[in-house]
C-alpha cells in the first residue's frame, strides 16, 4: 500500500514506566529458580498508571519535540489491548490531556499487539488523502498475563506515540509503503470480561507469528523492489527474544540490523507498544538516509509492515529522554509489589 502523497513522522515519543521486576524474582515465586530466561527484567506500570496515562506521556513527549499547535491535530487513534474502559474511548482522554479537543476525530483500535500500527496506517491514509493535516497514532499497553503463566516472564508496560503529517524537509522520516497480512488464526485471545489472555502455546509460532510477519515483510519488499540489505535496521514485534531474531534470520536480515530495536530483554513485551518502542529506539540513533523496516504482529492474527526512510536527526538540544535513558531509569520491585502494581490482588 503506497500513499499517493508522501507522509512523514513529524515527531515521536516513547514512554516506559520506571518500575521493573526481575524475571528471576518471578521465577523464584513459582519455583523456577535457576532456569535460563530470555528476558532479564520487565517494565511495570505504577499503581496509578494505565494505558491511557502512558499514552498521554508518550503523546506529550512527541508534542514537545514537534512544537506544533495541538489544535492542528485532526485525528488521535490509540491501539491497545489494555483499555481501562471497555466502553469510552481512550482517545478522548488523550485528546483533552494534550489540548487537541474538540475539533478532532478519535477512536481506539484493537488487534492484540498491532493496534498501534493500524493507528499509524489510518493516519497515513487520512493525511495522504488531505482529510487531516496531522494525526497522532499511539500503541500502548500494560501487558496482561495470568499469575504463573509463562507470559508473566515476558510481559512489560510502555507505549509510543507518532505525530504524522505531510512529508516536508523537516519531517524526521517518511513512509515509503505499508503492507498487511491478516488471517483468522486463533493463537492468542482474551474473551470479554476475562482479565488475562489465553494462548495456544506452540501454535503461536509457525502458523501465527512467523507466517504473518514473514508474509507481510516479503510482500512489502516485493512491492518496493527491496532486499533485506537495502535496510539499515529491522524492527519486529517482540513477544520474546527468540521470535524476532528467528523471523529476521528467516527473511535474510542479520543480527546487526535487528539489535538496535530489540528491547525485550530489558523492557519485556509491551504488546501494542512493543514494535513501536523498538522503532523509537532506532529513530533515536538512526542517521539521515537510513532505511528502517518495521513489522508488527497482532495475534488472531495479522502483521503490518512499513518501510521508513530517515530524513533528519531531531534530537539535538532536546530535553526529552532517549529510550536508552528510560531503560536505565528504574526502580526494582519484588513480586509482592508487582502484583499490587498490576492489580493482581483485588481489594
Instruction: Tell me if residue 113 is catalytic.
Output: yes
Q: Residue 302 phi/psi, 5° resolution?
A: -170, 165
Alpha-carbon distances, residue 43 vs 114, 142, 266, 267 (angstroms): 19, 9, 8, 5
> Of 60 and 291, which CB lies nearer to other proteins in the complex structure?
60
> Of 60 and 65, which CB lies nearer to other proteins in the complex structure?
60
Q: Of 199, 237, 260, 341, which one is the catalytic site residue?
A: 237
Q: Of 25, 41, 49, 81, which one is the catalytic site residue?
A: 81
Question: Which of 25, 41, 50, 152 touches other proteins (CB under 8 A)?
Answer: 50
How many residues interact with other proteins (rule CB under 8 A)?
A: 23
Decide: 249 and 243 in contact? Cβ < 8 Å. no
Tell me how far, at minimum, the Cβ of 59 lies from other proteins, in Å.
Answer: 9
- Measure the CA–CA gap between 216 and 222, rounded to whole angstroms: 10
Instruction: Decide: is 71 part of the binding site for other proteins (CB under 8 A).
Output: no
Instruction: Decide: is 72 part of the binding site for other proteins (CB under 8 A).
Output: no
Tell me how far, at minimum, the Cβ of 338 lies from other proteins, in Å.
Answer: 14
Instruction: Tell me if residue 237 is catalytic.
Output: yes
Question: Which of 6, 46, 107, 224 touches other proteins (CB under 8 A)?
Answer: 46
Tell me how far, at minimum, the Cβ of 16 lies from other proteins, in Å.
Answer: 11
Instruction: Decide: is 102 part of the binding site for other proteins (CB under 8 A).
Output: no
Alpha-carbon distances, residue 39 vs 239, 240, 265 (angstroms): 10, 7, 4
Instruction: Decide: is 9 part of the binding site for other proteins (CB under 8 A).
Output: no
Tell me how far, at minimum, the Cβ of 217 lies from other proteins, in Å.
Answer: 35
Residue 75: which of 50, 53, 108 has the closest Cα? 108
Decide: 151 and 338 in contact? Cβ < 8 Å. no
Instruction: Decide: is 52 part of the binding site for other proteins (CB under 8 A).
Output: yes
Decide: 35 and 24 in contact? Cβ < 8 Å. no
Instruction: Decide: is 49 part of the binding site for other proteins (CB under 8 A).
Output: yes
Decide: 106 and 95 in contact? Cβ < 8 Å. yes
Task: Tally the residues of the chain.
Answer: 347
Residue 235: in which H helix or E strand, if any? strand 233-236
- Measure the CA–CA gap between 338 and 334, rounded to whole angstroms: 6
DSSP 322: P
Decide: 161 and 136 in contact? Cβ < 8 Å. yes
Question: Which of 1, 6, 18, 339 touches other proteins (CB under 8 A)?
Answer: 18
Q: Of 49, 57, 113, 341, which one is the catalytic site residue?
A: 113
Instruction: Decide: is 342 part of the binding site for other proteins (CB under 8 A).
Output: no
Helix (H, G, I), strand (E, B) or coil at 261: coil
Tell me how far, at minimum, the Cβ of 155 lies from other proteins, in Å.
Answer: 20
Instruction: Decide: is 331 part of the binding site for other proteins (CB under 8 A).
Output: yes
Alpha helices by DSSP H, the chain: 23-29, 51-66, 90-97, 115-128, 211-224, 242-251, 255-259, 264-267, 274-285, 323-328, 335-341
Tell me how far, at minimum, the Cβ of 29 lies from other proteins, in Å.
Answer: 21
Instruction: Decide: is 201 part of the binding site for other proteins (CB under 8 A).
Output: no
- Tell me the per-residue interface mask from 152 to 191 with other proteins, x by CB under 8 A, - otherwise: ----------------------------------------
Instruction: Decide: is 323 part of the binding site for other proteins (CB under 8 A).
Output: no
Instruction: Tell me if residue 157 is catalytic.
Output: no
Kindly list the residues in this chain that would bind other proteins in the complex (CB under 8 A): 18, 46-50, 52-53, 56-57, 60, 84-85, 93, 96-97, 99, 321, 325, 329, 331, 340, 347
The catalytic residues are 81, 113, 237
Amino acid at each position: 500500500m503506497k500513499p499517493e502523497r508522501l507522509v512523514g513522522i513529524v515527531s515521536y515519543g516513547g514512554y516506559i514506566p520506571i518500575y521493573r521486576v526481575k524475571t528471576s524474582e518471578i521465577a523464584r515465586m513459582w519455583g523456577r529458580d535457576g532456569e535460563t530466561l530470555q528476558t532479564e527484567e520487565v517494565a511495570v506500570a505504577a499503581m496509578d498508571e494505565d494505558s491511557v496515562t502512558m499514552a498521554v506521556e508518550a503523546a506529550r513527549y512527541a508534542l514537545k519535540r514537534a512544537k506544533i499547535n495541538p489544535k492542528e491535530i485532526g485525528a488521535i487513534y490509540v491501539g491497545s489491548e489494555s483499555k481501562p474502559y471497555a466502553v469510552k474511548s481512550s482517545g478522548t482522554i488523550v485528546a483533552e490531556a494534550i489540548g487537541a479537543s474538540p475539533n478532532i476525530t478519535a477512536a481506539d483500535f484493537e488487534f492484540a499487539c498491532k493496534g498501534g500500527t493500524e493507528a499509524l496506517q489510518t493516519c497515513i491514509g487520512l493525511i495522504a488523502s488531505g482529510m487531516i493535516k496531522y494525526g497522532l497514532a499511539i500503541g500502548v499497553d500494560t501487558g496482561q498475563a495470568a499469575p504463573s503463566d509463562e507470559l508473566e516472564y515476558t510481559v512489560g508496560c510502555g507505549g509510543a506515540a507518532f505525530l504524522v503529517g505531510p512529508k516536508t524537509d523537516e519531517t524526521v522520516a517518511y513512509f515509503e509503503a505499508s503492507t498487511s497480512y491478516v488471517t483468522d488464526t486463533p493463537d492468542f485471545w482474551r474473551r470479554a470480561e476475562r482479565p488475562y489472555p489465553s494462548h495456544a502455546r506452540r501454535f503461536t509460532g509457525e502458523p501465527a507469528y512467523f507466517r504473518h510477519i514473514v508474509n507481510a515483510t516479503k510482500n512489502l519488499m516485493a512491492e518496493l523492489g527491496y532486499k533485506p540489505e537495502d535496510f539499515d535496521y529491522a524492527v519486529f514485534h517482540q513477544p520474546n527474544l527468540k521470535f524476532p531474531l528467528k523471523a529476521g534470520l528467516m527473511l535474510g536480515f542479520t543480527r546487526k540490523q535487528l539489535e538496535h530495536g530489540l528491547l525485550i530483554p530489558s523492557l519485556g513485551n509491551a504488546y501494542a507498544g512493543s514494535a513501536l518502542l523498538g522503532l523509537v529506539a532506532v529513530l533515536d540513533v538512526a542517521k539521515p538516509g537510513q532505511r528502517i523496516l518495521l513489522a508488527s504482529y497482532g495475534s488472531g492474527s495479522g502483521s503490518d509492515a512499513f518501510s521508513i526512510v530517515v530524513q533528519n536527526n531531531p534530537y539535538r538540544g532536546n530535553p526529552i529522554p532517549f529510550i536508552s535513558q528510560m531503560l536505565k531509569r528504574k526502580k526494582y520491585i519484588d513480586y509482592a509489589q508487582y502484583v499490587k502494581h498490576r492489580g493482581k490482588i483485588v481489594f
